[in-house]
A and B are shown apart, each in its own frame.
Chain A
């Protein structure tokens, strides 16, 4: 069973549009962590954010924002005023105690920002 679901395989938008990447997770642990990583065409995985299960506050970092909702088991990522440099594959991941905090990765969403 898929524990981290990124239903959007590929999203294409025009520069300056806002875009939201969805992430739905499944866990029975009460303590767990959620992550987002960016993988640009260069290939290096870049850490964006970590959230623990006890902190449901939304996070904003520049044009990036994250919406964590335990009620719907979702941890969505929004890019405001997208730029061409945002083009990348974005991975959502979960770590939980029962899996020894091994990262459980979603399939990734390929984001294409057109100029």
Chain B
């Protein structure tokens, strides 16, 4: 069974530029998560989807971050415009249901110059 797929793996951009990350969850997983992880810290939840619905986006900085999960499968996370402080690893995870274990993708390492 294929795991969670993310692309790109690495992205370097200049501040004020836009950037987008893509995630394909494990087949059959209804719940999809986007996390941000800074060096030496645990992941921080940005948004959680149940199928197409964003059910928890309280920690998503909505002035510059947006996300979508069309058709309840793939998801895209966008930052526009990027700031220096957005440099981090962006992780996507999926689970069958909210209370099940989450499986993580390899992450996208974003560097904002």
A residues engaging B (CB < 8 A)?
Answer: 33, 35, 37, 42-47, 50, 91, 93, 95, 100-103, 105-108
Q: Considering residues B98, B101, B103, B105, which has the most beta carbons from chain A within 10 angstroms of its beta carbon?
A: B101
A-B contact pairs, 19 of them (CB 8 A): A35-B101, A37-B104, A42-B106, A43-B107, A43-B109, A44-B104, A45-B43, A45-B93, A45-B104, A93-B42, A100-B56, A100-B98, A101-B98, A102-B48, A103-B43, A103-B102, A108-B40, A108-B41, A108-B42
Q: Considering residues B41, B89, B91, B99, which has the most beta carbons from chain A within 10 angstroms of its beta carbon?
A: B99
A98 to B91, CA, bound (A): 24
Q: Which 8 A-B pairs have the closest CB atoms?
A: A105-B42, A45-B104, A50-B101, A101-B98, A101-B99, A44-B106, A47-B101, A91-B42
A93 to B103, CA, bound (A): 14
Whether the Cβ atoms of B99 and A33 lie closer than 8 Å is yes
Q: Give the size category of B's interface with A.
A: 20 to 34
CB distance from A51 to the nearest CB of B (A): 10
Residue B19, interface by CB 8 Å = no
A46 to B101, CA, bound (A): 11
CB distance from A27 to the nearest CB of B (A): 14
Q: Which of B56, B91, B109 contacts A45 (CB 8 A)?
A: B91
Residues in B whose Cβ lies below 8 Å from that of A107:
41-42
Apart from the given pairs A45-B91, A91-B42, 10 other A-B contacts in the complex at a CB distance below 8 Å: A44-B105, A45-B93, A45-B104, A46-B104, A93-B42, A100-B55, A101-B99, A107-B42, A108-B40, A108-B42
